[in-house]
Structure formats: C-alpha cells, structure tokens
Chain A
Amino acid sequence: MTFYLNTDKLVPLEEAIATVRDGHTVALGGGLSARLPMAAVRELIRQGRRDLHLVGSAHGIDVDLLVAAGAVGVCEESYVGFEQDVGLAPAYRRAAETGSLDIRESCCVTMLTQLRAAEAGVPFLPVRGVKGSDIRRLHPEYAEVTCPFTGEVLVVVPAIRPDVALIHAELADRRGNLHFDMPYVLDERFASASKAVVATVERVVSTEEVMGAGITIPAHLVSALAEVPYGAHPSSCYPAYAYDRDHLREYAGATAAGPAEAAAYVDRYVTGAPTEEAYRTQIGEDRLARLTGWSESTEAWKELFA
C-alpha cells in the first residue's frame, strides 16, 4: 500500500517538511516565476537539510536559494535562472564555477520521460533526441537500445522516482485533494512518480469547494499538507497574487554580490524569519497587497511589471 489514505493530513509546515531527509531526491513543483513551493524551500533551509538531489524542469529562485543555503548536493534541472529580465541565477552560477555543486543539467523532455517511466513502473524509456548534444556527457547513466521493431537506435533514460514532490496549491481539503490552475508544468507527473507529495496550500477549504474548482492532484498521492498563505511568494500563485519582480531583483542582486551578501539575505528572510508568518511580516502587508491587486485592472497588472 503506497497510497496515502488517512483522512486528515493537515499539519504545521515544520512537521510536513520534517519528512524530507538529507540526501533525498526532491522534485520542486511549478516553474520559472510561477507557483514555486517557496514556503517549503524556506523551511527546508531552516531545518538545515543537506545534500538534496533536485530534479525538475525550468526553475528560478527556488533552486537558487537552496543552492545559496548549501542544501543541494546534486542539481538535475533543465534550467535555473531568472530569464532575460533578472538574468543568470547567481548562487547556481557561483556553485558551478567553483565546482561546489554536482550539476547534471537535464532537458524538459528527458525529465518528463524519466518520470513517466517511474509512473508506469518500467525501468527506462526511450527519447527521440539527445544524440549529438553534450548533455549526454553529464549523464553517464543514459544508454542506447536498438528498437526491436524498427531497428532504430534510440537513447534510453532510466526512471526517476523522487522521494518527495513539494507542490504548492491554491486550494486543498484536509484529505489532501489539491486544486491549482494551469500551467501545471510537471506537477501531475511528479505527484504520481514520487513516493510522496508534501503540499503547501494558500487555503484549506471543504471537499465540496475543491471538487467545485476541480481536483488537480488527488488526495491518495498526498502524504502531508500545510496551510501557508503566500506560500509561493516571491513567485506567483494566480488567481491570488502575481510574482514579486522587485523581490526577485533584490534576491538576485544580493546573492550576486557575494557569499556574505547571499548569507545576509538568507538570514533576513529565511533563518531570521523563523516562521512563514514572520516571513510575511518581513515582506510587508503593503507589498503583498500590491501583488494581489493585479486583478483590479489591466493597468494595475501591467504596473507590476513596468
């Protein structure tokens, strides 16, 4: 029995994240500037997790902050950065350039294929591309097979079964039925490929309300759930709030300045804010209200990005 059938999974964030252990393979939900599980990331740092093996697609401050705090041993994401706007991921970049992080850069399609193998309970699946790319040099575990039906030689990649997927949702009931809006990115695949899903959620509501909104990830895949308003900040969690571009700039500026400045950011916003309530106070009500104001008008929304 690997489904989670207990009827009440709502626990404090500290307790939910304590199920993640040093050395675990961890899938981070969301992508780029949207619905990153940031409260979970901050709590992992507060609890001093080490040697995490991160897997996923295109990510930003979630991965970079974990790297800055020294929590990551292996990074297997397809992209880590702040796009053209804020630029390269400063802690990830520094760790790569000093050789202090095992970077096994992957590809969205390869990662998807490896998760699908785990979901299907098979040891590997083929991919169509990858040949000719130096990405292969980073993955000695990839192999080749000759298709028994067509004779084509294809690259094959092993299943990835994360120990835990950290997913932030807009709504959930106490059983752990999750609702969130598209794009789901890899979250549905993470949920069924992983041994457990630990969710953070903006609001815990009735089962009827989650069903009305639509269940994105069913409760039987979810092992623990914590209610954390603004739990994706500084990334977005629509329809609740837009992403906090100014905060991303503040983070990237501080972290690019050097290890001491990066540590000062962690001290101020993570370890020095011992709870998510303290974090929200540190960010400030005015700023959070501004991010929820995106829906007032197109002009207000645009102004957030001007």
Chain B
Amino acid sequence: MTTTSVRPSRSAMSFSIDEWFVVTLSRTIRDREAVFHGFASPCAQVAMHVARHTHARDMLLVEGATYALNPDPAFIPPTGNDLSLQRGSTYQMRFEEFFDAAIRGDIDRMFLSGGQIDQWGNTNVTAVGPLENPKVKLGGGGGGCNLAATIGNLTLWSSRHRGGRTLVAECDFITDMGHRTPEGTRAELGFTGGGPEWLVTELGVFDYPDGRMRLRQLFPDVTVDQVREATGFEVDVAGDLRTVPLPSTAELAALRAIDPLGVRRVEFSPAELERVFHHAEGSGCAC
C-alpha cells in the first residue's frame, strides 16, 4: 500500500489512518448521549474519550467492563477490565445496573464490531464456518444479543474491510441482530432500539437507510470500486457521496493524550497503518 496524502505540507500536522478512523467513530456520538463500548474494543474505547473531550462534553461515558461513569484514565490499557480505566470516575455502576439500564432503553448508543457483518448490520462474533465444525471459533458476543435489541443506536465498526472476508452477504452465525434477520425485522421482533445507524471501516463510512448498508463517505485514498471489491454484496452509494471530513487538531490532540500506548493500532493490519495523511497548510485547525 502506498502512502497517500491530502495536499502534503512539511509544516502541517500529519496523522495516520487509525487516528482518522477513531476520530470518525467519535463523531457518531451526539452530545448528551449515554454511550457504552464492550470489551475487546480499543478503537471504540478511545473514540468515546475523544468525543467527551471535544464535541460531546456532556455525554455519559460508560467505560467498558468496569462500568465506570465519565472516568479520566491516564492511558487506555490493553484490557477492558482494569482499575486504570476507573480513574476520576464519578460513579461506578454494578454489572446488573448497567445491563438493566440498557435493556429498559436508557442507553443511547453502543459500539459493536464483528468478525462478519452483513448488509443488514447483523454481526457474527461467535464462529466462522459451520457451527458444528467451525473454521474459526471467535470469542463470543458478551451481552450483545440482548443489548442490540434495546440500545438506542448502534455504531458498528471494522478495521478489516479490505480483506474481503468481513462484509459478507450473510453471516455464518448471527450473534447480534441488525435491521433484519431471517426471523424478521426489528419491528416484527419487538425490539425497542433503532439498530445500526453507522458503520465505519478503514475504507469509508456507511449508513442504513431502510435498514440496508449504503456508502456515504470515502477516505481519500480509497475508490468506490475498491469498496465494491472488498464487499460481499452489492454496495449502494449515496447520491451525495463525499470524502470523510478531516480530523481537527483538537480531536487529534485528545486522541493522542488518551491513548499514549496506542492500543487502537492493534486493530489494524501493518499495511493499513502505513496510510498517513496531512492537513493542508493553514487549514489544520478546525477546532
């Protein structure tokens, strides 16, 4: 993969794809939302802290498997259950306190990923291949198969779109429900949550009008054809397709402060991490 740039400049700030990706994830959060990420989700975890330090200062941040509210960790550790994540927290929910809140509909957004994601936003974190004899047994869904029913909106993400095995026509196993499964639509299943609102991948940003995935924004070094090639079903493209908006210097600074260990980078292949971009001179500060 070649290094690409948006009008490079020696004096301008540069940033890599993992940073732009996490900032893009953070922008799916609205201010005053109560937001949760699961374990094993470093990109979503960092994104929530970026949002809380930039455009969503009054969000309620529920910190992963610690259920700490609005903590200010000195760094993000490589596990979702560590005391370091609780620093400065005003209150810590019990396990059941969080899940009850989510099931009765008080949590506005959750980040969710999967080894497979289909066109309806169903995700598979259980097993690739036939269930009786899986090709790869994945870790499992945590609380997803209940949370996906009732949480307000879901932001899906995948940093492994390009390989062609993640965005599939049908999941081998549906762990967490998107907009429709073979058993029915969300309305037919009686779900109170809205389902997947956004999907962010290392290629672009997608939404779900009428429940089916559509390409909305592209990273500037990616083409629509590349997205089509990497996707296992026909890709709808928005009429107003555009480039993913650049991260601001404030967002990049927040991200670098919260993730000095770079735990977000583990989600990307080494080749993807070579993708480096630059702010054009004089246009760097969108803060």
Contacts and interface: CB of A to CB of B under 8 A. Distances in A.
Nearest to A96: B137
Given A96-B134, A128-B103, A133 B175 contact: yes
Main secondary structure of the interface of A (DSSP, over half): mixed
Interface string B162-205: 00000000000111110001011000011110000000000000
Contacts of B131: 134, 137-138
A109 interface: yes
Contacts of B260: 302
B140 interface: yes
Contacts of B143: 57, 78, 107-109
A105 interface: yes
B39 A128 contact: no
Contacts of A97: 133-137
A236 B82 CA distance: 8
B266 interface: yes
B81 A33 contact: yes
Given A81-B138, A108-B142, 4 more contacts: A96-B137, A108-B99, A245-B78, A298-B74
B83 A133 contact: no
A108 B80 CA distance: 15
B65 A105 contact: no
Interface of A: 31-34, 57-58, 77-81, 83-85, 88-89, 92-93, 96-97, 99, 103, 105, 107-110, 112, 127-135, 137-138, 152-154, 181-186, 188-189, 236, 238-239, 242-243, 245, 298, 301-302, 305-306
A131 B189 contact: yes
A306 B259 CA distance: 11
Contacts of B189: 131-132
B253 interface: no
A110 B42 contact: no
B262 to A, nearest CB: 10
A183 B65 contact: yes
A97 B40 CA distance: 22
Interface residues on B, range: 35 or more
Interface string B51-94: 00000000000000111000000110111111110100000101
A183 B142 contact: no
Contacts of B247: none
Contacts of A83: 39-40, 78-80
B181 A132 contact: yes
A154 B149 CA distance: 12
A234 to B, nearest CB: 12
10 contacts: A58-B142, A81-B139, A83-B79, A84-B267, A108-B99, A109-B99, A132-B149, A133-B174, A184-B94, A243-B79
Contacts of A153: 190
Contacts of B148: 129, 133
A52 B113 CA distance: 31
A182 B141 CA distance: 22
Contacts of B6: none
Interface of B: 39-42, 65-67, 74-75, 77-84, 86, 92, 94-96, 99, 102-103, 126-127, 131-150, 173-177, 181, 183-184, 189-192, 260-261, 263, 266-267
A138 B173 CA distance: 11
Q: Is the interface of B mostly helix, strand, loop or mixed?
A: loop
A45 B64 CA distance: 31
Nearest to B129: A97
* A-B CB proximity, top 10 nearest: A81-B139, A129-B146, A129-B149, A96-B137, A108-B143, A109-B146, A85-B78, A83-B40, A79-B140, A133-B145
B39 A58 contact: yes
Nearest to B99: A109
Given A129-B147, A183-B95, A107 B141 contact: yes
Contacts of A133: 145, 148, 174-177, 181
A242 B78 CA distance: 12
Contacts of A127: 103, 146
B95 A96 contact: no
A84 B175 CA distance: 18
Which residue among A107, A127, A153 has the maximum number of chain B CB atoms within 10 Å of its CB?
A107
B99 A112 contact: yes
A151 B95 CA distance: 29
Contact of A85 (B141, B176, B263): B263
Contacts of B261: 302, 305-306
Contacts of B183: 131-132
B42 A84 contact: yes
A87 to B, nearest CB: 9
Contacts of B175: 133-135
A213 B196 CA distance: 43
A54 B190 CA distance: 31
Contacts of A298: 74-75
